[in-house]
Amino acid sequence: MSRLSIELPSHFPFSTTLTIGIGDINYGGHMGNDAVLRLAHEARLRFLKSLGHTEMDVHGCGIIMSDAAVVYRAEAFHGDELVVSVAVADFNKYGCDLLYAMVRKRDGTEIARVKTGIVFFDYPARKVARAPSAFVSRFQPTTDTDGERHEGLPTE
């Protein structure tokens, strides 16, 4: 099986700081693999909150995680503060990808890269929903003055 690769954008519209707690540590003395997705979940909640949304209400739709990928780059330990940055990319009819960069705050070491695929969901109808146009348009790829394209940046 080939190694996973997660390409990150050069800019992220949102960052938050999370601290590695004792429950995030495994028997090897470092952050466990299950903790990475838990931290991504917390960063996703904070990102959506910064936009005035929740996982149950993004312009009237909920979201469901459809897939996840993690690439580990270095160990993290109890008490480490991680800056977790979030960007949006690769929209399709029903969802998009959220990309996360996890970097240790004190020394800038990249700890992990994460990608979670999300689909929008109509909970009352119990079915997948189209990606809300207001959310999609907010994160359309932009081009800066040098002609460089940026994925997952707000257009406002």
* Structural domain includes residue 85: yes
DSSP 82-139: EEEEEEEE---SSEEEEEEEEEETTT--EEEEEEEEEEEEETTTTEE-PPPHHHHHHT
What's the CATH number where 21 sits?
3.10.129.10
What would the pLDDT profile of 78-119 be if each residue is shown by its tens digit?
999 999 999 999 999 999 999 999 999 999 999 999 999 999
**pTM greater than 0.85:** yes
What would the pLDDT profile of 20-60 be if each residue is shown by its tens digit?
999 999 999 999 999 999 999 999 999 999 999 999 999 99
Domain count, the chain: 1
Cα separation of 150 and 72, whole Å?
24
Range of the domain at 84: 14-140
DSSP 29-45: SSB-HHHHHHHHHHHHH
